[in-house]
């Protein structure tokens, strides 16, 4: 009689042993070599290269049709706009619940282990954005989150206890954090949103152990500083270029790559003549000092709200017989760019959606503007792409298996209208937009998943979607592309052909990075929708 329960316990232990040793910690070295542990998902984009690629292939073209829901987690309090990429390490999944709650889930069951929420002010200022979180970073045994009121908080990964809490920027002025931090070496890098509140953008690095600020790079200059001349003579304020998403990192070059947002006011450029550095750019900073090594401005003197806050995708490829370290960027302005990531030099680029504002790119990658494409008073100017851009912030994916760059695109234009736009001192009273847009009526817009040749931007295939979708992309070594529709579909396409192989109706649009990980020898695919965090696996 006594043997029987014992046997049960033993078999239970065999089946339900710890998924991994909880004593492990996520060292910098582990994140550096994340490709060697595909069972984990250690950064926002899966690796420092932000490729949104998993080398797991248990789920593949042949068996994808039987993919099923394994578990669903829903927060006790209804939340919306789940935009976080989970971090998966050592049997635990770390998610965020908007606006700024961090929750740890048991990877195998989806059961909640702990949860932490900051005490937010009664009215969090969120101008030009909604208070959400795109997730945490992990380093050692600490997870880090940027909060809606612009604090960077370090939590014990085992129980959510606060290690330190740094007030990074003044939320009352419009600074708000939505992007995930990036943890490298012994530092945590984070930016902030707030361009529509006309804040001055920056990127910060903090000591991971103490929270002490190590460096700050202001993304717009003050008079007398380099780049001030690109804001016109006498321009005393240079606002915008906020850094509200995640960046990438090349350890060999020791460079951090981060996208920057629009100048303020968005649509009225009267008081900011010039290129307005370093708005709508990708900046490459020395990881130790925060010094600017190079920048590439996609949209000089931008006035259509085409931020460049999508994570930069790092990949290596051979061009003209030479191996190159490259950076791929499907920009909100409608052009796909390939840059040399050591120097920032332009290599190739072409539109990946319909665009009407530029004749093309010159030899340096600078756009050759079409005339009369600026926002105008009254009825406005019809320009493609719309304010939503060819793609906004949602991560694209690069598959080393196919050499293709996959992006969920918006095919739509809009009437851009210029209005009053003057930056007033003091706390913002509303959006400092200086105009706005009118959408095209009817169903003239659509979305698509497009596969581009990563080194050229040439279209290889597309899978059309009914509406422009705001859904990131994942590719896997199983030859699959995962993404979603704004109508609520989550689907898998053949990475080589774009043929749809599987779809699941989640009932609400996905917004988070789809990710993949492995537990108990089984590969999982993970996505969010509405109020639900959903893990999929094979039966």
Partner 1 sequence: MLSAGHANSWRVSGGRIMTAIRCLWIAAFIILLCGLTPNRAAASGPTRQGAPAANPSSSDVDQGKQSFEARCSTCHGLDGGGAMGPNIQAIPMRLGAAVVAGVIKNGMSGGMPSFAGQLDDSQIQQVIAYLLTLTHKDSGTVTGDPAKGKEVYDGSGCATCHIISGQGSGAGPELTKVGQLRGPGYLKTTLLYPGSDLPQTRVFLESGGMLEYMFVHIITKDGHTFDGTRASEDSFRIVIQDVSGQFHSFQKSDLREFNKEPGKSVMPSFKGKLTDTQIDDLVAYLASLKGDQ
- Closer residue to partner 1, CB minimum distance, 51 or 331: 331
Strand pairing category for 474-476 and 255-259:
unpaired
- Closer residue to partner 1, CB minimum distance, 104 or 414: 414
Q: Which of 244, 384, 406, 470 binds partner 1 (CB under 8 A)?
A: 470
Query: Is 77:505 a contact under the CB 8 Å cutoff?
Result: no
Q: Which of 6, 123, 368, 426 binds partner 1 (CB under 8 A)?
A: 123
By CB under 8 A, tell whether 66 contacts partner 1. Answer: no
- 3-class SS at 296? strand
Q: How far is CA 413 from CA 334, 387, 442, in A?
A: 11, 8, 12
Considering CB under 8 A, how many residues would be counted as binding partner 1?
Answer: 53
- Closer residue to partner 1, CB minimum distance, 283 or 431: 431
E strand or H helix at 16: helix 3-16
By CB under 8 A, tell whether 252 contacts partner 1. Answer: no
Query: Is 242:201 a contact under the CB 8 Å cutoff?
Result: yes
Query: Is 56:477 a contact under the CB 8 Å cutoff?
Result: yes
Q: What does the alpha-carbon distance between residue 9 and residue 421 come to, in Å, rounded to a whole number? A: 69
- 3-class SS at 378? coil
Query: Minimum distance between the CB of residue 503 and partner 1, rounded to whole angstroms?
Result: 5
By CB under 8 A, tell whether 467 contacts partner 1. Answer: yes
Q: What does the alpha-carbon distance between residue 29 and residue 35 come to, in Å, rounded to a whole number? A: 11
By CB under 8 A, tell whether 118 contacts partner 1. Answer: no
By CB under 8 A, tell whether 535 contacts partner 1. Answer: no
Tell me the window of 155-163, 341-349, 353-361, 459-467 that interacts with partner 1 (CB under 8 A): 459-467
The encoded tokens of residue 295 equal: 């920048």
By CB under 8 A, tell whether 170 contacts partner 1. Answer: no
Query: Is 331:353 a contact under the CB 8 Å cutoff?
Result: no
Q: What does the alpha-carbon distance between residue 210 and residue 431 come to, in Å, rounded to a whole number? A: 35
**Ramachandran quadrant class, 46 (left: phi over 0; alpha: psi -120 to 50; beta: rest):** left
Query: Minimum distance between the CB of residue 222 and partner 1, rounded to whole angstroms?
Result: 27
Q: Is 305 a catalytic residue?
A: yes
- Closer residue to partner 1, CB minimum distance, 405 or 502: 502
Q: What does the alpha-carbon distance between residue 193 and residue 241 come to, in Å, rounded to a whole number? A: 9
What binding mask, one character per residue, do residues 145-164 give for partner 1 by CB under 8 A, x or -?
--------------------
Q: Which of 54, 126, 178, 262 binds partner 1 (CB under 8 A)?
A: 126
Write 352-355 long-range contacts (CB < 8 A, 24+).
Answer: 352/390, 352/407, 352/409, 352/450, 352/452, 352/457, 352/459, 353/384, 353/385, 353/390, 353/409, 353/410, 353/411, 354/384, 354/385, 354/411, 354/413, 355/384, 355/385, 355/390
What binding mask, one character per residue, do residues 482-521 give for partner 1 by CB under 8 A, x or -?
---xxxxx-x--------x--x-x--xx------------
By CB under 8 A, tell whether 128 contacts partner 1. Answer: yes
Q: Which of 67, 469, 477, 480 binds partner 1 (CB under 8 A)?
A: 469
Interaction with partner 1 in 68-87: which residues (CB under 8 A)? Answer: 78, 80-81
The encoded tokens of residue 184 equal: 């490298």
Interaction with partner 1 in 387-406: which residues (CB under 8 A)? Answer: 387-388
Question: Under 8 Å CB-to-CB from 23, ≥6 apart: which residues?
Answer: none
By CB under 8 A, tell whether 472 contacts partner 1. Answer: no
Query: Minimum distance between the CB of residue 244 and partner 1, rounded to whole angstroms?
Result: 14
Query: Minimum distance between the CB of residue 380 and partner 1, rounded to whole angstroms?
Result: 8
Query: Minimum distance between the CB of residue 440 and partner 1, rounded to whole angstroms?
Result: 9
Query: Minimum distance between the CB of residue 412 and partner 1, rounded to whole angstroms?
Result: 9
By CB under 8 A, tell whether 438 contacts partner 1. Answer: yes
By CB under 8 A, tell whether 445 contacts partner 1. Answer: yes
Q: Enumerate binding residues for partner 1 (CB under 8 A).
A: 78, 80-81, 122-123, 126, 128-132, 196, 305, 386-388, 414, 417, 419, 429-431, 433, 435-439, 441-443, 445, 447, 464-470, 485-489, 491, 500, 503, 505, 508-509, 530-531
Give me the active site residues, please: 305
């Amino acid at each position: 009689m006594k043997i029987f329960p014992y046997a049960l316990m033993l078999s239970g232990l065999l089946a339900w042993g710890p998924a991994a040793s909880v004593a492990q910690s996520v060292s910098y070295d582990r994140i550096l070599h994340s490709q060697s542990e595909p069972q984990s998902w250690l950064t926002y984009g899966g690796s420092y290269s932000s490729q949104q690629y998993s080398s797991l292939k248990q789920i593949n073209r042949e068996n994808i049709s039987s993919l099923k829901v394994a578990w669903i987690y829903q927060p006790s309090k209804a939340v919306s706009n789940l935009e976080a990429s989970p971090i998966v390490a050592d049997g635990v999944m770390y998610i965020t619940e908007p606006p700024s709650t961090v929750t740890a889930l048991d990877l195998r069951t989806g059961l909640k282990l702990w949860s932490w929420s900051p005490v937010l002010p009664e009215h969090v200022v969120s101008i030009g954005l909604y208070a959400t979180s795109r997730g945490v970073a992990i380093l050692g045994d600490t997870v880090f989150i940027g909060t809606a009121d612009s604090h960077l908080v370090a939590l014990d990964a085992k129980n959510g206890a606060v290690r330190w809490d740094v007030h990074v920027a003044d939320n009352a002025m419009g600074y708000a954090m939505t992007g995930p931090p990036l943890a490298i070496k012994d530092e945590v890098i984070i930016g902030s949103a707030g361009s529509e509140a006309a804040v001055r953008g920056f990127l910060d690095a903090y000591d991971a152990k103490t929270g002490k600020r190590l460096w700050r790079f202001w993304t717009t200059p003050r008079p007398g500083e380099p780049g001030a001349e690109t804001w016109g003579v006498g321009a005393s304020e240079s606002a915008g270029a906020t850094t509200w998403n995640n960046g990438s990192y090349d350890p060999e070059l020791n460079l951090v790559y981060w996208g920057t947002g629009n100048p303020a006011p968005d649509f009225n450029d009267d008081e900011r003549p010039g290129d307005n550095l370093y708005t709508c750019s990708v900046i490459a900073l020395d990881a130790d000092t925060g010094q600017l090594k190079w920048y590439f401005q996609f949209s000089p003197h931008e006035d259509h709200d085409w931020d460049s806050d999508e994570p930069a995708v790092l990949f290596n490829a051979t061009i003209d017989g030479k191996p190159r370290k490259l950076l791929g960027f499907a920009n909100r302005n409608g052009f796909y760019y390939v840059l040399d990531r050591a120097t920032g030099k332009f290599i190739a680029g072409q539109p990946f959606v319909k665009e009407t504002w530029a004749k093309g790119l010159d030899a340096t990658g600078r756009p050759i503007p079409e005339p009369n494409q600026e926002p105008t008073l009254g009825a406005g100017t019809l320009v493609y792409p719309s304010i939503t851009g060819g793609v906004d912030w949602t991560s694209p994916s690069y598959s080393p298996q196919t050499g293709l760059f996959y992006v969920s695109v918006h095919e739509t234009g809009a009437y851009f209208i210029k209005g009053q736009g003057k930056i007033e001192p003091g706390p913002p009273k509303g959006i400092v937009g200086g105009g706005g847009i009118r959408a095209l009526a009817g169903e003239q817009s659509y979305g698509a998943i497009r596969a581009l040749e990563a080194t050229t931007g040439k279209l290889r295939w597309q899978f059309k979607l009914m509406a422009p979708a705001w859904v990131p992309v994942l590719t896997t070594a199983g030859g699959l592309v995962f993404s979603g529709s704004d109508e609520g579909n989550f689907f898998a396409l053949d990475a080589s052909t774009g043929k749809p192989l599987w779809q699941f109706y989640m009932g609400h649009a996905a917004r988070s990075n789809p990710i993949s990980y492995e537990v108990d020898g089984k590969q999982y695919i993970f996505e969010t929708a509405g109020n639900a965090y959903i893990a999929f696996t094979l039966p």
